[in-house]
Structures are given as structure tokens and as C-alpha cells.
Amino acid sequence: METRRALVTGAASGIGAACVERLAADGVHVVAVDRVPIRAALRVQPVVADLSDLDGLAGLPADVDILVNNAGVQHVAPVEEFPPERFSYLLRLMLEAPFRLIRQTLPSMYGAGWGRVVNISSVHGLRASPFKAAYVAAKHGLEGLSKVVALEGAAHGVTSNCVNPAYVRTPLVTAQLADQAKAHGLTEPEVLNNVMLEPVAVKRLIEPAEVAELVALLCGPASASITGSSFVLDGGWTAH
């Protein structure tokens, strides 16, 4: 993997940071993109960019072998109270930006006859939860986009897959605890145990490194025939 170059979004913390570290450990040269500065490291090139600025995405490197679309945010509110501008922002960040990045990196992958697109989706790409209209809509859309890319890219040696974790120990989930506590009139521990982990058989948060291990597998040489799929790390949520 020492000859491979990856672009990872949302790379400053959580799943993105874990993916950067894991891919770099495999020898991949990683362009780590986030809207906040990231410290440079061996095999890691930090880039500051606001992915919601769609026109600005053209300035990001397109000559990569691996693209990990990870950046995301959450907003919790009933549909009738959901701010339309916030709905648009979430879809722009988590669906339109991945489309733009895939679109501009595919030509280089096609030219090389090899590429890996990994979209960090969610269990909410397969299931819905109340109060998360924009997030669920964006992740469902990302699932469809990923499958289209898998079908189009197969002839060019490019695979495209989704990784679908349940709640991961990240700043995004930590922020949700407070939002959900307000929405449900509960304490944060009650939200974690009675709301977030209620449908999960394995009663704990997933660690970012667990997600990164699956991402590394999907980016590696053993994944040539793995495409168009969604890989669930949900502690048994979707087993119901």
C-alpha cells in the first residue's frame, strides 16, 4: 500500500482521525481534510477545507487512489421544527460533497485501473430514527450513490462500499447526548442507555478504531471483489 494515496474527510477527530492513522500505518500517504487545522505527521498531509463550500472542493487533490467520505454533522429536531437551511446544509455536506469528491477523483482512479471509495454511512443509512430527518435522508442517499459508483466503477478496477456503524464514541455522538436529552426530557445517561443503545444487543458505544479497521480492509488488496455493499457494525441493531 506504500504507493497508494488517500483522501479522508472529517479527519480531525473521531472516525476520520482513526482512518487516517490506520491507513498511514499501512503505508498509505493520506491527505487529511477537515475544516480545522490538523497536525502534520509521517505520511499525513493536512488540508483545511470547508466541505459545505461545494465549489471550493475543486481545490482538493483529485489524483488519489482511495477516497474515504467521512465528514458529517447531526441536527436533532422534529420535522415540523427542523430549520430548512440546516436540512440543506446537512445534505450538502454529507451527500453533495461526497458526490463532488467521487466525481473529481474517479478519472484518476479509472486511469490507474484501481481505486477504492469508502463512504462512512451509518445504521441510519438503513434504518430511521425520529428527529433526524436530514441525517437519515443524507445517509440513505449516500447508500444509493455508493451503489451506482460500484456499478460504474467495476469495469475500471474501482470498488465502492459503505460502512454502517451504530453509535460511535465521537464528538458528534457526545453532542447528540445533550440534544436528545433536551428532546426527550431525559438525563444524558438515560439517553445513552434507554434511547441510543436500546435497539443494540451489544450495549456499548463502538470505538473509532473498530470502524477504521473495516475501512482498511475495504481499501486493501483483498477487497477487489467487495463492492456495492454496506457493512454493518451495529451491535445487532439491524438483526431485529
Where in the sequence numbering do the catalytic residues fall?
135
Q: Are 120 and 68 in contact (CB under 8 A)?
A: yes
Question: CA–CA separation, 34 vs 13, rounded Å?
Answer: 9
- Dihedrals phi, psi of 166, to nearest 5 degrees: -80, -150
Q: Grid coordinates in use for 88?
A: 440543506
Question: CA–CA separation, 188 vs 58, rounded Å?
Answer: 40
CA within 13 Å, CB half, 141: 16
- Go through 189-217 and write b for each residue having 16 or more CB atoms within 10 A of its CB, e for each that does not: eebbeebbbebbeeeebbebeebbebbbb
Q: Is 46 helix (H, G, I), strand (E, B) or coil?
A: strand
Q: Are 6 and 30 in contact (CB under 8 A)?
A: yes
Sign for the pseudo-dihedral over CA of 17, 20, 229, 117: positive
- Dihedrals phi, psi of 226, to nearest 5 degrees: -100, 105
Measured distance between the N- and C-terminal CA atoms of the chain, rounded to whole angstroms: 38
Q: Left (φ > 0), alpha (ψ -120 to 50) or beta: where does 26 sit?
A: alpha
